[in-house]
Structure 1
Amino acid sequence: MPKVLVLADHIASQIAAGEVVERPSSVVKELLENALDSGATQIEISISADCRDIRIADNGCGMEIEDAVLAFHRHATSKLKTVEDLWNLNSLGFRGEALPSIASVARVTCLTRTHDSAEGSKIEAADGKVTTSQTGCAPGTVMEVQDLFYNVPARLSFLKRASTEFGHIHEIVQSLAIAYPQVAINLIHQGQSSFRTTGSGDLSLAVKEAGLFSGREQLCEVKAGDRDLGLSIRGYVAKPLHFRGDRKGILSIVNNRPVRCPLTYKALDYAYSDLIPRGRHPFAVVVVDVNPTNLDVNIHPTKKEIKYSNGNEVYIAIQRALMLALRQAKSEAREAEVAREREEFHYQVSLARDLQSTAFSGDEQQAEDQAASLQTAQNEHANSVSAIMHEVSDARTVAESIGARATRQLGFKDRLQYATRLYTPVDGETSSPVDGRAYHGPGTDDESPESASEYGLASGAKLSPESGQLPTQYTYSLPHGWRIAAYIHNTYIILETPEGMEIVEQHIAHERTLYERLLAQQTVAGRTTECAQRLLVSTPLQLSMEQSNTLRNNIEILRKLGFDFECSEDHVTCTQVPLELAHKDYACVVQELAQQLAIADGADLELEATKSIACQSAIKNGMPMSERDLVQLLCEWDATPRNDTCPHGRPVRLKFSMEKLFQMFHPA
């Protein structure tokens, strides 16, 4: 039996380096974190020699020579003094393993000087030996690592190509540059700058400068907090039109530390589950600041993973913040519209002043004409602003009421409450719907059996609460400044907007509208009986073995959504369908639904079924719609808070600003 021996320090450091220093990016991470912990405001990282030579210079606090020498000893750190400090960490590093581990597999030179010292210190470490000398250098610290893995040939042989290794370095530096937007960071590869941040302190600017987003994404700001939990959540998420096939566009930062946070990933998946295609992931930067006593970062050798002591509460808070951010983007657009209206109002005020000066000049007839014109313009302006402000107020009321429910996880129904732009008409009003003004309905147009009215578009009238009867007429109004310019191939609606032009596909727009309506009708106990149609003649279903098993296993979910079935050993018969599907071929609908549920592995089956119902109930492309139905569809779709994509993630509309149209016709 061999005797037990205490390993020499340099051997123990090489063993520790096997966990701490996996590849060149690990060295960059440890040294960059030390630079950030030193309070630096400017950091430069230079990479060369196939990523085996690394130089990191900062203008931080620097070190005295005694501290610099101790830093190369194992478990020597300035960031911890007692065990209790582990539960109140405000620094990135704390173990005291990085420098000795790096020095055991590379040649390391450290130049450091404090701001009040006349001269600096030079420390050289290699092969377990540390030498010191005095030298002149700028305040701060410069760490030079050369010949990485020169004495570990096995580890050296496992390094990938230089471009691959630099890709990992770029990802590490990028995440820390975003986590510390107040620090100017410059990453140089082979003498050329890869990216540079300005240290402005602006998170959105740092995200663009570091290159995590392309800069073309439309972003929604995330901003929320919970005083009881000591929790603050901020960041930016891209609108559902922008996504990718992996999670590399997601950055989770907890207490200024970039980490892999499963709670953030799960909350993002939930918030975007009916906004982007399945298997795709959004662009997002989510920054969580939490009380350090509720966080454990000492569970992974490279500190990439964390654990919360109150994980469920943190998850609910993150999920709520993301959902509110995606919803409030619509109300912010409304506020921008109000701002445009105010500018128009100021213009009208200037007209009034001109009118006053004209009246004093003695031309009474001209003054009267201008007064009448001004009064008409001001009335139209007041009505428009009132309608827009009412919508903004409704959106804020919904957001505030949901935000107040801090003890319950948000369901899909909570974020989908919206009101259709339905107005009471003025007697004798005859304006056209295509220019954004009022339209009266139901009209006298004859509807063919295949018209859009069968798909719920001509049934927007609601019962009067006083009489319980349908009103004789109702009015839909397009948003201010919208005008239907064309209707192409009974599929695409061309809209002229104040910003330029939009193209809307009727099927996808109607699918999103029906989906929101279906979710709004759902309750905790299931759908009400008024939303289902009992069939006079039951419909036998021709299902495959897989489809039949899927339907039988999920029959309770389907009953909540308005379906009902009679099942025997060999046959399944449909006896009830949701009201939205009353005009469809029931057998084909259920067969398609069962097929989609069969492939929805790990998904929310009730949500997937609702998506299928909305898709199959929506008006199809190529089916003609009357002018009245077009206006109603656009109004109801525009009233939904998440109208950029359909429930499956397809874009509902394409936007072309005047600038973009000009560039298309006049390329540079």
Structure 2
Amino acid sequence: MKIQSLPLDVINLIAAGEVIDSPVAVVRELVENALDATANRIVISIYPQLWRIQVSDNGNGMILDDLKVCSQPHSTSKIYSHDDLWRITSLGFRGEALHSIAQVAELEIASRSVWDDDLGWRVRYTPHGEIENITAAAIASGTIITVSNLFNNLPVRRNALRAINQQLKGIQSLIHQVALCHPSVTWQVTRDDTPWFKISPSTSSHHILPQILKSVHHTDLQALTLDIETPQDDCSNIQRTISKIELVVGLPDRCHRHRLDWVKIAVNGRMIRNSDLEQTIITAFARTLPRDRYPVCFLHLQTCPSLIDWNRHPTKSEIYLQSLSFWQEQIQNAIDQALKISPANLSTAFYNTRVSNLIKAAEEKSSYHFTPTAKSETIKSKDDLGLIELIAVAQVRNTYIVAEHDNGLWLVEQHIAHERVLYEKLQDHWEIISLETPIILKQLSERQVEQLKELGLEIETFGEQLWAVRSAPKMLSERNDCKEALIELSWGGDLETAQVATACRSAIRNGTALTLVEMQTILNQWKCTRNPRTCPHGRPIYLSLEESSLSRYFRRHWVIGKSHGIS
């Protein structure tokens, strides 16, 4: 065998096959070009059976000189030198898209520049990216790109992509993701000249996400935008700027997912995959969601271009991001802030549909002695400003605390509210103390003994099938049922699981009568927790009955004449 250089047409086809591997890739490349041309309205027409795709936009358009060279290999207006690779602010920059499309399909571009008011031009290209035909075109400013007979020269690939519904699903998912990153754009998509779906523009992703997830209302979401000072040693003096974190999270007491399919991360206008940042988001929602449920979260990080290396993956979906640990900390803090309760993120509409689903207490009634101190001990968060002032006014069935605030009433389930308080206290101060009198446990398995040791408890053999536990969590050591609690802890789980179990067992039981002072103490402690919306098991803690909802129910907005039957 002899090593030899490949012919240019083979090289081009190999490269094109890597960049344009599906109809989804065609739509992605053309949409990114439209956005780089500052388009705010994009129309996408799909003809699956014909293997034809057309993307129209109202962007800046191209002059004739640009149309003549845009399909040549590595032709771009986005970068010009080596240094520009570290200052990328556009979605495209490699100059591969149009040339690659021309290798695997018939390519036609009609465009009119906003700087040329006379007329537009329609250009058809050969498979080598050269001009085949040029004609004048009477079109509005913008660009219309038509891709026909996709993969006609790659029959194996076309046959492998015959699952049309799967391809359409991929295109829809792509447009949804891009729309989240660019909320000011109007998206109109047709299939075989029939309207398929549309996404209306908005000022933020907060109102785009409900258009994508139909079961989610915008009141189920909390949006947050934070300005972050980028570490100064990472950006040059010229490029140093304030970074921004835009966050849209599904409130854990209102919406969550059965699958890990809606943790989305974008950087500088493009959706990416980053397992480290994804895990940071999942960890931030720990012990706020029910078991086997996952968060709804869209994170958009906008930062200095010199911190990012986009030149890692053909689709630019994977990047190198400097100061990863810094961003992980900032994301954790942003989610913590978004999940807190404040007047800014209260909703009045959502709870109208939840009144009938009030959570029923599951615990049996038992005595519990709750002694509030003169000054309530609260778990301090980093920022207690903006918290709602809650005033305890009554107790319903010795289970729900009725709390009044400026805009209405809340029902707070006392057990899980107190459980949230104790759990976060245990997170911050997990203390194991020695027991004056050891607790004797019987018939433990070897795994149970190891489990108690892993939790930091001192345990030793005391006889045949007997073990003496000489230390215990401080909160449990003060309870009469400490022995039963230790057996419960021995059945498995990590430290976090043990803390949840300890908090649940130690929290005030439903069915316990409380005084107004005791109720107020619980409210004061609970509202200052880091995640006050749900208990550590993911159950909603409070139900809001807002003044506006009450007014609508009692028809207080009716005029006097109408309410008295006077026409």
TM-score, shorter chain, exceeding 0.5? yes
Q: Which residue of 1 aligns with 2:371?
A: 458
What code does the residue aligned with 2:474 have? L
The separation in 1 between residues aligned to 2:280 and 2:479, in whole angstroms, is 37
| Contact 1:482-1:497 at 8 Å conserved across structures | no
Deviation of 1:233 (Å): 1.6
Q: Cα deviation per residue 1:604-655 (whole Å; 9 max; x = unaligned)?
A: x333322221112123344555665445434432343422101122211233
2:432 counterpart of 1:565:
no
Deviation of 1:479 (Å): 4.6
Q: Which residue of 1 aligns with 2:475?
A: 580
| Contact 2:460-2:467 at 8 Å conserved across structures | yes
The separation in 2 between residues aligned to 1:58 and 1:286, in whole angstroms, is 27
Q: Which residue of 2 aligns with 1:122?
A: 122
The separation in 2 between residues aligned to 1:458 and 1:538, in whole angstroms, is 26
The alignment of Structure 1 onto Structure 2 pairs a total of residues equal to: 512
| Contact 1:507-1:620 at 8 Å conserved across structures | yes
The separation in 1 between residues aligned to 2:258 and 2:50, in whole angstroms, is 28
Q: Cα deviation per residue 1:276-298 (whole Å; 9 max; x = unaligned)?
A: 23543322222212211111111
RMSD, matched Cα: 3.4
Identity %: 29
Change (3 A) 1:309 1:640: closer
**Residue among 466, 486, 495 paired with 1:590:** 486
The separation in 1 between residues aligned to 2:84 and 2:536, in whole angstroms, is 47
2:171 counterpart of 1:261:
no
| Contact 1:330-1:641 at 8 Å conserved across structures | no
Q: Which residue of 1 aligns with 2:21?
A: 22
5 Å-filtered alignment, 1:567-646, equals 572-581=467-476, 582-597=478-493, 605-622=494-511, 625=514, 629-646=518-535
**Residue among 149, 168, 171 paired with 2:170:** 168
The separation in 1 between residues aligned to 2:376 and 2:129, in whole angstroms, is 87
What code does the residue aligned with 2:393 have? R
| Contact 2:438-2:468 at 8 Å conserved across structures | no
The separation in 2 between residues aligned to 1:243 and 1:203, in whole angstroms, is 18
Q: Which residue of 1 aligns with 2:191?
A: 189
Change (3 A) 1:22 1:592: farther
Deviation of 1:214 (Å): 3.8
Q: Cα deviation per residue 1:527-558 (whole Å; 9 max; x = unaligned)?
A: 3x7xx461414322533333333333x2xxx3
The separation in 2 between residues aligned to 1:661 and 1:153, in whole angstroms, is 64
The separation in 2 between residues aligned to 1:41 and 1:3, in whole angstroms, is 50
List alignment gaps of at least 5 residues for structure 2.
233-240, 349-364, 378-387, 556-567
Q: Which residue of 2 aligns with 1:545?
A: 446
| Contact 2:246-2:300 at 8 Å conserved across structures | yes
Change (3 A) 1:52 1:216: farther
| Contact 1:451-1:624 at 8 Å conserved across structures | no
Deviation of 1:235 (Å): 2.5
Q: Which residue of 2 aligns with 1:134?
A: 135
Deviation of 1:109 (Å): 1.5
Q: Which residue of 2 aligns with 1:487?
A: 396
The separation in 2 between residues aligned to 1:663 and 1:462, in whole angstroms, is 39
The separation in 2 between residues aligned to 1:565 and 1:539, in whole angstroms, is 10
The separation in 1 between residues aligned to 2:94 and 2:462, in whole angstroms, is 65
The separation in 1 between residues aligned to 2:180 and 2:112, in whole angstroms, is 27
2:244 counterpart of 1:221:
no
**Residue among 299, 302, 305 paired with 2:312:** 299
Change (3 A) 1:463 1:80: closer
5 Å-filtered alignment, 1:116-515, equals 116-117=115-116, 118-125=118-125, 127-128=127-128, 130=130, 131-136=132-137, 137-159=139-161, 161-190=163-192, 191-198=194-201, 200-209=202-211, 211=213, 213-229=216-232, 230=241, 231-241=243-253, 242-327=255-340, 329-330=341-342, 332=344, 450-453=366-369, 457-461=370-374, 479=389, 483-484=393-394, 487-488=396-397, 490-493=398-401, 499=407, 502-515=410-423
The separation in 2 between residues aligned to 1:155 and 1:661, in whole angstroms, is 61
The separation in 1 between residues aligned to 2:316 and 2:531, in whole angstroms, is 37
| Contact 1:28-1:54 at 8 Å conserved across structures | yes
Deviation of 1:268 (Å): 1.2
Deviation of 1:35 (Å): 0.7
Change (3 A) 1:73 1:210: same
Q: Which residue of 2 aligns with 1:90?
A: 89
Change (3 A) 1:41 1:166: same
The separation in 2 between residues aligned to 1:551 and 1:51, in whole angstroms, is 66
Asked which structure has the greater CA Rg, the reply is: 1
Deviation of 1:179 (Å): 1.4
Deviation of 1:4 (Å): 1.4
The separation in 1 between residues aligned to 2:541 and 2:99, in whole angstroms, is 57
Q: Cα deviation per residue 1:221-280 (whole Å; 9 max; x = unaligned)?
A: 141311434432223223222221334323212111211133431221232112223543
Change (3 A) 1:551 1:185: same
Q: Which residue of 2 aligns with 1:518?
A: 426
What code does the residue aligned with 2:28 have? K
Change (3 A) 1:287 1:146: same
Deviation of 1:30 (Å): 0.6
The separation in 1 between residues aligned to 2:17 and 2:461, in whole angstroms, is 61
TM-score, normalised relative to structure 1: 0.69
What code does the residue aligned with 1:236 have? V
Q: Cα deviation per residue 1:352-397 (whole Å; 9 max; x = unaligned)?
A: xxxxxxxxxxxxxxxxxxxxxxxxxxxxxxxxxxxxxxxxxxxxxx
| Contact 1:177-1:210 at 8 Å conserved across structures | no
The separation in 2 between residues aligned to 1:625 and 1:596, in whole angstroms, is 34
Change (3 A) 1:505 1:542: farther
Change (3 A) 1:511 1:92: same
Deviation of 1:46 (Å): 1.8
What code does the residue aligned with 2:244 have? S
TM-score, normalised relative to structure 2: 0.80
Q: Cα deviation per residue 1:276-326 (whole Å; 9 max; x = unaligned)?
A: 235433222222122111111111111001111222222222222322333
What code does the residue aligned with 2:257 have? R
Give the secondary structure class of the aligned counterpart of 1:141: strand
The separation in 1 between residues aligned to 2:338 and 2:324, in whole angstroms, is 21
What code does the residue aligned with 1:7 have? P
What code does the residue aligned with 1:92 have? L
The separation in 1 between residues aligned to 2:440 and 2:519, in whole angstroms, is 33
632-641 or 576-585, which moves further after superposition?
632-641
Change (3 A) 1:61 1:37: same
Greater RCO, CA 8 A, separation 6+: 2
Deviation of 1:36 (Å): 0.8
More helix by share: 1
Change (3 A) 1:567 1:91: farther
The separation in 2 between residues aligned to 1:211 and 1:463, in whole angstroms, is 42
Deviation of 1:187 (Å): 2.7
Deviation of 1:51 (Å): 8.4
The separation in 1 between residues aligned to 2:133 and 2:196, in whole angstroms, is 32
